[in-house]
Amino acid sequence: MTAPLRLGIAGLGTVGIGVVKIIRQKAELLRARIGREFVISAVSARNRDTDRGVALAGYEWEDDPVALATRDDVDVYLELIGGTEGAAKASVEAALRAGKDVVTANKAMLAIHGQALAEEAEAAGRAIRYEAAVAGGIPVIKALTEGLAGNEISRVMGVMNGTCNYILTRMEKAGLSYDAAFAEADGLGYLEADPTLDVGGIDAGHKLAILSAIAFGARPDFDGIELEGIERVTIEDIRAAADMGFRIKLLGVAQRTGRGLEQRMQPCLVPANSPLGQLEGGTNMVVIEGDAVEQIVLRGPGAGEGPTASAVMGDVCDLARGLRQPTFGQPADTLQEATRARSELPAPFYLRMALLDKPGALAKIATILGNSGVSIDRMRQYGHDDTTAPVLIVTHRTSRVALDEALTAMAQTDVVAGAPVALRIEHL
Ligand code: HSE
């Protein structure tokens, strides 16, 4: 049998402990499949004394993840700490320089520093694997880099933040306000330590940046994503969408157009009867379209101990088998700097605004839309309070540029209270 693969695990939270459990509980299965033993040489975390529900006393301990990453008895360094900078990045860089392969679940680090890290890995002749970074237990990185390698990818899209999907689902199913659904998700421990990462669309944006890089041979470009969170979605939006046969999802879309790479992560209306529309709770879904395969839909748990540890172990097993490939599926120096393209493909849009309840207000809005070439498909006014009237408008297909021109003009009138909500309606 080949020599054991020796692991150093930094970060003993949900993911790290899940990995320790799989290695302990499935030793025989792994040996049978891979033909090697897995040995945990040492572990590291911020606090040694935390009760993690698993006996760790048998493993050597390193306070400093960099020291762990560079130990002579570590072949593969597992960075499960998280965070864009700091210990996570320093230890991954140290591991690569010391000739170790790296497995990480760190989407933020890869979305922001992925190009530099990919170059460092290739210079060192090592690999960075990160299946757990995108869509939890769904093997989407493997699907894109390996199974779909013979395809020209035209579009990647998906729901990649389970917390947002949980909040939106609870709003629809239980009639909860955004704040109540957010509080429920918080109570269940779903939210990241900084909840803006979830509800602001940032976590899902990091994941989209990684998928785009692989799908389109582009350098990861998180800053190039049109990003909007779900904080402004109201129960009225959810109900209005449902009335029209749609559901609201935080949807990521990346596609190459004639003008460049379009990447957006925004709340959108999707048909309720589509696979994405039917996705409920904390589940993730990624849809990939390629010229040869046409369309595939991957669905599964986006977070949690088992699913993320499953993804990490898939990477560890590949490394144990000697499978190494460039970080984003092709050599780092061949990844192109993507030209950023704003989403210009026309689509219908859903608008919600509060109009001051005075004569001519609606006429002004209709005129502004008309002047920008935006045609109204449907309109509804409901539930006046003393001063404002909420108005919902669905447009015919229009470009975002034309719509933004209209929204800017609306802001300059004296009839719109606050900023209107504008959500794209995606026909999938
Ligand atoms: N917070 C993420 C989610 C999981 O809710 O999907 C980690 O990326």
Averaged confidence pLDDT in the chain: 95
Domain presence at residue 200 = yes
Residues 167 and 284 in one domain: yes
Q: Are residues 168 and 258 in the same domain?
A: yes
Whether 387 has a pLDDT exceeding 90, the answer reads no
Enclosing domain of residue 249: 145-301+336-341
* Same-domain check for residues 277 and 184: yes
| Residue 69 is assigned to a structural domain of this protein | yes
Contact between 8 and 69 under an 8 Å Cβ cutoff? The reply is: yes
Q: Is the same domain home to 51 and 190?
A: no
In Å, what is the CA distance from 45 to each residue of 136, 299, 311? Answer: 21, 32, 20
Same domain, 241 and 150: yes
Q: Exposure of 211 by Cβ count < 10 A (0-12 exposed, 13-18 middle, 19+ buried)?
A: buried
* Residues 173 and 269 both lie in one domain: yes
Where does the pLDDT of residue 312 fall: very low under 50, low under 70, confident under 90, or very high at 90 and above?
Answer: very high
Domain boundary (52, 72, 104) is at: 104
Q: 63: which 2 tokens?
A: 């306070």
pLDDT of residue 138: 98
Q: What does the alpha-carbon distance between residue 240 and residue 391 come to, in Å, rounded to a whole number?
A: 11
The residue-averaged pLDDT of 239-259 equals: 93
**Average pLDDT of the segment spanning 138-159:** 98
Cα–Cα distance for residue pair 332/115, rounded to 1 Å: 7
Instruction: Report whether pLDDT(139) > 80.
Output: yes
DSSP for 211-264 reads HHHHHHTB---GGGSEE--STT--HHHHHHHHHTTEEEEEEEEEEEETTEEEEE
Q: Are residues 71 and 181 in the same domain?
A: no
- Non-local (6+) Cβ contacts of 201 within 8 A are 161, 164, 227, 228, 229, 230, 250, 265, 266
Query: Tokens 């990490």 — which residue?
Result: 312
Phi first, then psi, for residue 135 (nearest 5°) are: 60, 40
**Taking the C-alpha atoms of 138, 85, 213 and 96 in order, what is their torsion angle to the nearest 10 degrees?**
-90
Question: Using CA atoms, how far apart are residues 424 and 400, in angstroms rounded to an integer?
Answer: 9
pTM: predicted TM-score of the whole model, two decimal places: 0.95
The 10s digit of each residue's pLDDT in 365-375 is 999 999 999 99
**295 and 187 in a common domain:** yes
Structure tokens that stand for 370 in this block:
């008309």
Q: Give the whole-angstrom CA distance, residue 104 versus residue 11.
A: 10
Rounded to whole angstroms, how far apart are CA atoms 377 and 180? 32
Distance in angstroms (rounded) separating the CA atoms of residues 109 and 68: 19
Q: Is 162 in the pocket of ligand 1 (CB under 6 A)?
A: yes
Q: Which atom of ligand 1 is nearest to the CA of 302?
A: 6
Residue 203 CA, closest ligand 1 atom number = 8
Q: Whose CA is nearest to atom 7 of ligand 1?
A: 303
Distance CA(331)–CA(280), nearest Å, equals 37
Nearest-atom number in ligand 1 for the CA of 207 is 8
Q: Is 42 in the pocket of ligand 1 (CB under 6 A)?
A: no
Residue 26 covered by a domain: yes
The answer to whether position 139 is within a domain reads no
Q: What is the pLDDT of residue 345?
A: 81
- For Cα atoms 29, 17, 44, give the angle at the middle one, nearest 5 degrees: 115
Q: Tell me, what DSSP letter sits at residue 124? A: T
Instruction: Give the CATH number for residue 82.
Output: 3.40.50.720
CATH number at residue 377: 3.30.70.260
Q: Which residue among 163, 196, 280, 308 is best mutated to probe the pocket of ligand 1, counting the most ligand atoms within 8 A of its Cβ?
A: 163
Query: Is 47 part of any domain?
Result: yes
Q: Clarify whether residues 173 and 244 are in a common domain.
A: yes
Q: Identify the band that residue 341 occupies on the pLDDT scale cut at 50, 70 and 90.
A: confident
Q: Are residues 185 and 287 in the same domain?
A: yes
CA distance 301 to 115: 27
Residue 177: CA count within 13 A, CB half-sphere? 3
Of these residues, 100, 107, 207, 249, which one is catalytic?
207
One domain, residues 169 and 295: yes
Overall number of domains in the chain: 3
Residue 21 a catalytic site member: no
Beta strand spans in 34-125 (E): 38-44, 60-61, 76-79, 101-104
pLDDT over threshold 90, residue 382? no
In the listed set 47, 74, 104, which residue is the last one of a domain according to the structure? 104
pLDDT tens track for 289-305: 999 999 999 999 999 99
Containing H/E element for 288?
A: strand 283-290
Task: Please indicate whether residue 303, judged by its CB atom, sits closer than 6 Å to ligand 1.
Answer: yes
Q: Is residue 202 part of a domain?
A: yes
Phi, psi of 31, rounded to the nearest 5 degrees? -60, -40
Q: Which residues contact 75 (CB under 8 A, 6 or more apart)?
A: 5, 6, 7, 100, 101, 319
Same domain, residue pair 375 and 281:
no
Q: Whose CA is nearest to atom 8 of ligand 1?
A: 203
Assign 1 a pLDDT band (cuts: 50, 70, 90).
Answer: low
